[in-house]
Amino acid sequence: MSTIELAVLAVGLSMDAFAVAVCAGLSMSKAPFKKALIVGLWFGAFQALMPLIGYYAAKLFANYIITYDHWVAFTLLSFLGGKMVFNSFKQNETANAKEASLRPAQMLPLALATSVDALAVGISFAFLQVSIVPAVSFIGVTTLVLSMLGVKVGSVFGARFKAKAEFAGGLILVLIGVKILYDHLSAAQG
């Protein structure tokens, strides 16, 4: 996986976290750096941890599904991306919520929910022979920065960008899945 592909994937994975961070920012009258950093650290850490877990879990079972690895990557990324695109059309029900709490009891479920797709990407990484530590570090830092930006955007501009960010992230994941499948099928024929 090239650096550009990894960067595009990292941004795509970060869109869920960005969208939730925008919602958190919407409910903050002021979004100081400290609050944005807390949100960014939660989301960035989980976006880095989940693909690492998926990667090592897939390595345990790689011998059983190596023949179908490109289909697994395509299916997982397309499903998750499609789900994000579908969700981007839903009404935002959290826009009128009270100020977001940054306590672990509230942040942990959000961080887990926004990083489930990263677990599936980690599984895909195992089949694509991606160097996992630099990849998850890049994804984590990208998510940290975009989540912090999302808090700021939410506090300044409102809910206008949430659906667009989620749609773009989902579309990126689907396109990466299609590219993986295309590359593998082209290599098999050529």
pLDDT in tens, 60-95: 876 676 667 677 777 877 876 787 788 777 755 444
Pick the closest to residue 84 from 4, 164, 185 (CA basis): 164
In the chain, pLDDT over 70 holds for what percent of residues? 83
Structural domain boundaries of the chain?
Answer: 3-189
Q: How far apart are the first and last CA of the chain?
A: 19
DSSP reduced 3-state for 131: coil
pLDDT at 94: 46
What are the tokens at 60?
Answer: 């345990």
CB 13 within 8 A of CB 47: yes
DSSP structural state of residue 68? G
Question: In 10 A of CB 35, how many CB atoms?
Answer: 20
pLDDT at 117: 79
Please state, rounded to an integer, the average pLDDT across all residues of the chain.
81
Q: What pTM did the predictor assign?
A: 0.70
In the chain, pLDDT over 90 holds for what percent of residues? 26
pLDDT in tens, 4-58: 989 999 998 898 788 888 877 876 767 789 999 999 999 999 999 999 999 998 8
